[in-house]
């Protein structure tokens, strides 16, 4: 039986995540308020950010940047694409 959440991003009732995807309070908020489809949208956006900004996710500075973007993506009005980003 899947867990349902009212998704903060999609503004609809949807299947919730199976486990907390990120540590700490931010991860708990995401687990409680973000659906699986919304999390997949974040993963695609995060991949684009990593590629466009040429980030190395194991570096603390890159992780802090991505965490901030994740919080904006779900709870702060959205995470912007890089200014020179062009979708293929």
pLDDT above 70 covers a percentage of the chain that reads: 94
With CA atoms as reference, report the closest residue to 30 among 61, 72, 2.
Answer: 72
Residue 1's pLDDT band, with cuts at 50, 70 and 90, is: low
Q: Does domain 4-75 have CATH number 3.30.420.10?
A: no
pTM: 0.88
- Residue 4, strand partner residues: 15
DSSP string, the chain: ---EEEETTTTEEEEBPSS-SSSHHHHHHHHHH-BHHHHHHHHHHHHHHHHHTT--TTSHHHHHHHHHHHHHHHHSS--PPPTT----
pLDDT, tens digit (0-9, with 9 covering 90-100), for 63-85: 999 999 999 999 998 877 777 76
């Amino acid at each position: 039986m899947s867990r349902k959440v009212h998704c903060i991003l999609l503004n609809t009732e949807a299947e919730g995540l199976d486990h907390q995807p990120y540590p700490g309070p931010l991860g708990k908020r995401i687990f409680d308020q973000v659906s699986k489809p919304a999390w997949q949208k974040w993963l695609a956006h995060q991949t684009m950010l990593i590629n466009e900004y040429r980030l190395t996710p194991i570096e603390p500075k890159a992780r802090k940047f991505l965490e901030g973007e994740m919080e904006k993506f779900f709870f702060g009005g959205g995470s912007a694409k890089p200014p020179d980003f062009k979708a293929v």
